[in-house]
Amino acid sequence: MVKLAMLGPPGSGKGTYATRMAPKLEVPAVSTGELLRANRDDPKLGPEIRKGQDSGGLVPDKIVMAVLQKRLAESDAKKGFILDGFPRTIEQAESLEKFAKLDAVINLVVPERVIIARLSSRRQCSKCSAIYNTLYLKTKVEGICDKCGGELYQRSDDKPESIKERLKVYEKSTAPLIDYYGKKGVRIDIPCNSVDVPPDEQVAKIMKALKDKRVIQ
């Protein structure tokens, strides 16, 4: 059993690393952003999700918790999970602890200039949601997903005007979690000071840190 969460500002590579670590650890990478998008048409939870997302605000915690709890009860999460994009606040971390205690929290430490360079070059598949990057994680055919042939697009929140705003939000709401998990003794800091570190190299660094801390064998 290994229960992990990725912590780091937008553009730190959380999703990319989580999806690469998942098969190695035989657990699912669970992105709350994707989960919420997938539940937009749910008759019970959908209306509140749409309201939050479409107004550019946040989806209420109780909705996020409900969607997440349902996901983590699925059979593929029996051996654990990697959370990407959650928790974002101390309140969420406390709620999470009631049904899942994290073994380790990977804290990606990335300078702002690196984040801006990365985010504005990020592209996502419109069909399968795979993430690419025009700088260091290119597709074989420009603009087309390697996995499913879907068309790539730039998420509206990856445009420069949105990036600085998102970093501000992160600083205010999520940065306190860095201390919170430090005090709990589960935080593992992973520095990343350059834009074009190949994801597999960074994943190897994270896996080694998990072994060194005896979180995994």
**Is residue 88 annotated as part of the catalytic site, yes or no?**
yes
Q: In the set 33, 46, 52, 150, which binds Zn ion (CB under 5 A)?
A: 150
Say which of 3, 118, 122, 187 is annotated catalytic.
Answer: 122
CB closer to Zn ion, 86 vs 132 = 132
Say which of 14, 20, 71, 187 is annotated catalytic.
Answer: 14
Q: In the set 68, 114, 130, 186, which binds Zn ion (CB under 5 A)?
A: 130
CB closer to Zn ion, 15 vs 87 = 15
Residue 21: count other Cβ atoms within 10 Å of its Cβ.
Answer: 22
**Is residue 155 annotated as part of the catalytic site, yes or no?**
yes
Peptide bond into 160 cis (omega under 30): no
Q: In the set 148, 179, 193, 196, which binds Zn ion (CB under 5 A)?
A: 148
Q: Calculate the CA 59 to chain-centre distance.
A: 16
Q: Is residue 164 within the footprint of Zn ion (CB under 5 A)?
A: no
Token readout for 10 is: 């937008």
Residue span 89-128 as binding mask against Zn ion, x where in contact by CB under 5 A, dash where not: ------------------------------------x-xx
* Total interface residues for Zn ion by CB under 5 A: 8
SS (H, E, C) 133-187: ECCCECCCCCCECCCCCCEEECCHHHCHHHHHHHHHHHHHHCHHHHHHHHHHCCE
Nearest to 172 by CA among 67, 92, 88, 57: 88
How far apart are CB 178 and Zn ion at their closest, in Å? 33
Stretch 4-43 residues interacting with Zn ion (CB under 5 A): none
CB closer to Zn ion, 129 vs 174 = 129
Distance from C-alpha of 9 to C-alpha of 175, rounded to nearest angstrom: 8
**Is residue 213 annotated as part of the catalytic site, yes or no?**
no
Say which of 40, 127, 155, 168 is annotated catalytic.
Answer: 155
In terms of DSSP H, where are the helices of the chain? 14-25, 32-38, 46-54, 61-72, 90-99, 112-119, 160-173, 175-184, 199-212
Distance from C-alpha of 112 to C-alpha of 120, rounded to nearest angstrom: 12
Distance from C-alpha of 95 to C-alpha of 18, rounded to nearest angstrom: 22
CB closer to Zn ion, 144 vs 216 = 144
* Interface residues toward Zn ion, by CB under 5 A: 125, 127-128, 130, 145, 147-148, 150
Q: Among all residues, which ones are annotated catalytic?
A: 14, 88, 122, 155, 166
